[in-house]
Amino acid sequence: VLRMTQASALMASGEFSLRLDEGHANELGSLARALNKLAAGTQAKIEEVAARQNELTVVLQGMTEGIIALNADQAVIQMNRSAATILNLEQSSVLNKPFQSLSIARDLGEIVTAGFTATGPQFQTMTLGGRRIEVSGLRLGDASVEGMILVLRDTTELQRLERVRTDFVANASHELKTPISALRGFVDTVIDDTEMPTETRRSFLVRSQQQIHRLASIVQDLLQLSRLDTGYSPDSDKTLVLSDVVHQVYLTKITDAEIKQVQLIYETSPDCQQHRIQGRADDLALMLSNLIDNAIKYSDHGGTVSLTLAMNGEGLIRFNVTDQGVGIPAEEHDKIFERFYRVDPARSRNKGGTGLGLSIVKHVVERYQGRIKLVSRPGQGASFSVTFPILQPDPTR
């Protein structure tokens, strides 16, 4: 009887591991079996609840959205890591504390007050530390208020991407509209003037052809960017000798340089031939072609464009394109990789640029975990340096 009394006291305090002797043949044995069964069943239920609670905690802490739970007294009973990060708080510093006593009440007080008095969901957008945060709140309980859940989403990156998308559509529309308008004007003039002299007609047709080529270039670059943005699979990569790719591109650009009366020089160190990189030859050739095209395009007659390929001593292979052209102001260095951005729009269009070449270069570099660096000053040319990690030799071979 004393053992049963002790077991009952332990169960009352939440301890269910003690088991009684069931060997008695009388009522005490039956009672012991009943108490043991009760203890085992209760312990199993507690362990099940604890396991589910742990699963819920793992899910809650792993969510990218911030979650804050308040009880009926508006005390914080739960806050996940994402919410703490968004609000720049320590989770332990806010748990079980009245919401209105916290620093975040200044920003979230309005939605909490509305949430506890209104029946439907509440929404709010705010700015914290330069980041855009969307907050939604929902009261728990129907007849009586049992608490409230706040969900916080950092939409700063989504907003930036939407702005980039909007700007891209606007810029693409403008870039396509310009040659289309010119082409329409040339064609309409030729059609309307049946007595136009042959030389004048030919001039209009040549200018129309130039606009068609410009349109084709823009569309081609847009398609290249679309391909680079989507559909990449590492399975399509191959082991390449970058020096071979560079040499092939160099050979295709000699004629372009000669037409512009620019000297194109290519130098490589012997050790580059030994090293391989992982990638697609057409992507790398596209990147190199755009860099070389830009260098030739913005070089004056009689200038020099230098291509060099060498190891940088840090396990990286480096490709440099250096010209003696007009140069780029320091404040423009970060902007030139944006789509359709031009330092001098009129000059770029006159030279046949689409404004997408360096954006394509950046996409290729990032795809293959490379880095790109620009050194340039107005009137002193520009030097683009691209580095890629090389493949380490297989020690088993």
Q: What is the DSSP string of 116-177?
A: HH-SS-EEEEEEETTEEEEEEEEEE-SSS--EEEEEEEE-HHHHHHHHHHHHHHHHHHHHHH
Residue 319: strand pairing partners? 309, 386
CATH class of 234-397: alpha beta
pLDDT at 281: 87
Angle between helices 281-297 and 242-259 (to 10 degrees): 30
> Where, residue-wise, is CATH 1.10.287.130 in the chain?
156-231
Q: Which CATH number fits domain 156-231: 3.50.50.60, 1.20.120.140, 1.10.287.130, 3.40.190.10?
A: 1.10.287.130
* Cβ pair 370, 385 in contact under 8 A: no
347: left (phi over 0), alpha (psi -120 to 50) or beta: alpha
Q: Does domain 63-154 sit in CATH 3.30.450.20?
A: yes
pLDDT at 194: 85
Name the maximum alpha-carbon separation found in the chain.
126
Q: For each of the chain's 397 residues, which pLDDT tens digit applies?
A: 567 777 777 776 777 776 666 666 566 677 777 777 777 778 788 878 878 877 887 888 888 899 999 988 889 888 898 988 888 888 888 888 988 888 888 888 888 888 888 778 889 888 888 889 999 988 887 666 688 889 999 998 888 878 877 777 777 787 788 788 888 998 998 888 888 898 998 998 998 888 888 888 888 888 877 777 775 565 567 888 888 888 999 999 999 899 999 999 999 888 887 778 888 888 889 899 999 998 998 888 889 999 999 887 777 888 899 998 888 888 888 888 887 776 665 555 555 567 788 888 898 888 888 899 989 888 888 999 998 888 755 434 3
Residue 265: strand pairing partners? 306
> Where, residue-wise, is CATH 3.30.450.20 in the chain?
63-154
CA distance 356 to 359: 5
CA distances from 55 to 3, 6, 49, 319 (A): 37, 34, 10, 51
Residue 39: both structure tokens together: 């203890």
CA distance 323 to 262: 10
Q: How many residues does the chain have?
A: 397
Q: Does domain 2-60 sit in CATH 1.10.8?
A: yes
> Where, residue-wise, is CATH 1.10.8 in the chain?
2-60
> Where, residue-wise, is CATH 3.30.565.10 in the chain?
234-397
Residue 63: strand pairing partners? none
